[in-house]
Structure 1
Amino acid sequence: MKTSLFALALLLSSTCFTTAQDFYLPSSSKSKKAVAALHQAAELYGNVHFAQGNEKTAEALAEDPNLFMAHVNAVQFASKANKPAIIEKALAVDASNFNEAEKIMRGLMEKWAQDLDYLPTEEMKALVAAYPKTPQATEWASLHAFFTAKDVEAGLAYSQKLAKMSPKYGPNYNTMGYMYLKKGEMDKAKAALEKYIASAPKEPNAYDSMGEYYMNTKDYTKAAEYYDKAAKLGLADAKERADKAREMIKQE
């Protein structure tokens, strides 16, 4: 996984674990097609299919240009240079019928309109407080804490809470694994990434992340093995990482 891309690894979600209504934050949109595409985008983002996630976000906005949470997706996955224009579109959506989640995120958009480096710590706390039983709220808080605020401990606390709420939700274990890697707690990192693979055995990113774990532990043979699995499942740039791992084996 390219952790720099949260820019982030945000908005992970999947209907495999709970119903969409239970897992996702609510939307005021009346378009079922738009909301379905929004949820599909979240699942794609969660497993690091960023290009496909962006396509689904665009599809959601084509169905309902006023789908505010789709604008939120677009902002969070845009480059810093492109964010202002997208934020402007988000803030142009009529907020008169917004639910609490949309109000909180609109407040964040207003802050980002003034300062793109603003840290959304308080907004994420508010989101979790407003939706304590909605996994996506906790997931967003975890991702923003880890990737945006660089607060590993806060991110891990949210991630552990999410694991209890949605124990079969694979992408959360991926994020958790990277948090433990950051802390140098390698056994816990491995255990978390093993859960990601078990929860999402057909996702190439699960194996790519385990490959990165083994690169960190300098087990280059294992790293190459997992990168090869990721490449076989369709993650093209995993082959380059597998080749690098094999080069490291030669240097030992």
Structure 2
Amino acid sequence: MKTLIALFALLFGYITTIVAQDFYLPVSSKSKPAIAALHRASELYANVHFKDAKSELDKALAEDPNFFMAHVYAVQYGSKADRPALIEKTLALDTKKLTKAEQIMRDFIVNWQKDPNYKPVEDMKALVAAYPKTPQALEWASLHSFYTNKDADAGLDYAQKLAKLSPKYAPNYNTLGYMYVQKKDMENAKAALEKYVELAPNEPNAYDSLAEFYMTNKDYAKSAEYYDKAAAMGLPDAKERADKARAMMK
């Protein structure tokens, strides 16, 4: 029985690794602990756990200080004030063994260094063209299209493709929800944010996003209800937002 359990654990670990590799863009680092920490950071960032995500990112860089893709994360999620130094550090790394994904992201960062307002439209097209079946390529393309390029239409197109490719990837429905809200498609926005809650019932951000949707649509009772759920799960400031929604009901 112990042998069977050990074999099952080994097989499960192998399958988990394959699934993770299938989701994430390929990296040049050979450090398994560094890669695992970066994957944890990615998941935490996607669900808006920024402090915990930064901690995992720091672990990844401690395991492999030359981990190029981890530096890419640091640049993308770093503050505007810190970004120039982070970019300089990233571009100083050796480029000989970079994967195609890392090279595309490096080209983007080079342009970002030249112009802080640079919009990576072509870079994201190149990333998706190189990795059309890799969910993370579509995720980054949707996020940069929406938040960096301010192009909700392109972002929506990438996010919809991601939903088809990886239908159980919960954070994508959060992005979809906000893009639909911007396009004033409230029916699809509500459906997307409800799907986020369905797929990630233990994520306070899912309830916070749905609460914000109801606040935008002036359903203050529902907004307070979902903010309360987010607050009960420990989301900072959710209690204050719930109280604000209740005040709007009067």
Q: 3-state DSSP class of the match of 2:249? A: helix
Shift of 1:116: 1.3
* TM-score, reference length from structure 2: 0.92
Q: Which residue of the partner structure matches residue 134 of structure 2?
A: 134
Determine which structure has the larger helix proportion and give its number. 2
Q: Matched residues in 2 for 1:215 and 1:247: separation?
A: 12
Matched residue type, 1:38: L
Matched residue type, 2:120: P
Give CA-to-partner distance per residue, 1:22-53, whole Å, 9 cap, x none.
00001110100000000000000000001111
Q: 3-state DSSP class of the match of 1:20? A: helix
Q: Which residue of the partner structure matches residue 6 of structure 1?
A: none
Unaligned runs of 5+ in 2: 1-14
Shift of 1:59: 0.8
Matched residue type, 2:74: A
Unaligned runs of 5+ in 1: 1-14
How many residues align? The count is: 235
Give CA-to-partner distance per residue, 1:134-168, whole Å, 9 cap, x none.
00000000000000111000000000000001101
Percent identical across equivalent pairs? 66
Q: Which residue of the partner structure matches residue 221 of structure 1?
A: 221
Q: Which residue of the partner structure matches residue 34 of structure 1?
A: 34
Over 3 Å off, 4+ runs? none
Shift of 1:209: 0.3
Q: Which residue of the partner structure matches residue 120 of structure 2?
A: 120
Matched residue type, 1:174: N
Q: Which residue of the partner structure matches residue 8 of structure 1?
A: none
Q: Matched residues in 2 for 1:199 and 1:215: separation?
A: 22
Structure-to-structure mapping, 1:8-27, within 5 angstroms: 19-27=19-27
Q: 3-state DSSP class of the match of 2:65? A: coil
Query: Which entry has the higher C-alpha Rg, 1 or 2?
Result: 2
Q: Over the residues paired in the alignment, what is the CA RMSD in angstroms?
A: 1.1
Q: Matched residues in 2 for 1:65 and 1:109: separation?
A: 18
Q: Matched residues in 1 for 2:157 and 2:170: separation?
A: 17
Q: Which residue of the partner structure matches residue 143 of structure 1?
A: 143
Q: Which has the higher contact order (CA 8 A, sep 6+)?
A: 1
* TM-score, reference length from structure 1: 0.91
Shift of 1:237: 1.1
